[in-house]
Structure 1
């Protein structure tokens, strides 16, 4: 797909994915999200966001990127170290620059998470300039 600067040109139903192998640094005790030796919820959220980024960023103009502004995730099953988890994001709604995704994540045995995520398309240079100015203040 060629790059676009118009979110309306991104087709609903477009999908993206991201996969990780569960290693110690992605487990709950290492990430500070509990003691259970399982894939951490913060790691699941990051994987789901990566799937949403994969879904749309390659289709945007090089001067643009997306920022996550809302995520609602249910972590419904535990995944032990060594297994792979794959997240899938589907673009289900567009409203101007705002993009909404349906999310799901599966390990090799079952559905482990699901939810919805909202990202907004921004002008990269303008956004980075604002961040830099905020840091300098």
Structure 2
């Protein structure tokens, strides 16, 4: 059985579509929903890492299903569904008051921190 993890976020004004420019309304933006989802999977995946490694997101397919108001609590649940070498796959669901507001399939890879940073162009 693969691991699962749940994390809770509260929608701040800086998380809204209006604030980030992805829309014109004061509701949870899709970019921030994705960030909540990636952060939850990253936290779950951290159990698999040694101190010289980190994980990086490499793919996400997301459906943003319902709007979420400012100050609402979003519960994000990540379930690892596959592991292929250093690549992990997660199914993620986000809920507000037990209503599904988003779902995603997300892949993360384990990378050596130093090796990865050497690839960053200045």
Task: Place the TM-score, normalised by the shorter chain, in its bin.
Answer: over 0.9
Write out per-residue CA displacement over residues 75-125 of structure 1, whole angstroms, 9 at most, x where no aligned residue: 001110111112111110011111100010011241100010001110111
User: Does residue 1:55 correspond to 2:44, yes or no?
Assistant: yes
User: Does residue 1:71 correspond to 2:36, yes or no?
Assistant: no
Question: Once superposed, what is the RMSD of the aligned Cα atoms?
Answer: 1.2
- Structure 2 unaligned regions, length at least 5: none
Q: Secondary structure at the match of 2:8?
A: strand
- Structure 1 unaligned regions, length at least 5: 1-11
How far 1:13 moved relative to its partner?
2.1
Which has more strand, going by share of residues? Answer: 2
- TM-score, structure 1 length as denominator? 0.84
- TM-score, structure 2 length as denominator? 0.94
Which has more helix, going by share of residues? Answer: 1
How far 1:60 moved relative to its partner?
1.1
Aligned residues: 122
Q: Which has the larger radius of gyration?
A: 1
Q: Which runs of 4+ in 1 moved over 6 A?
A: none
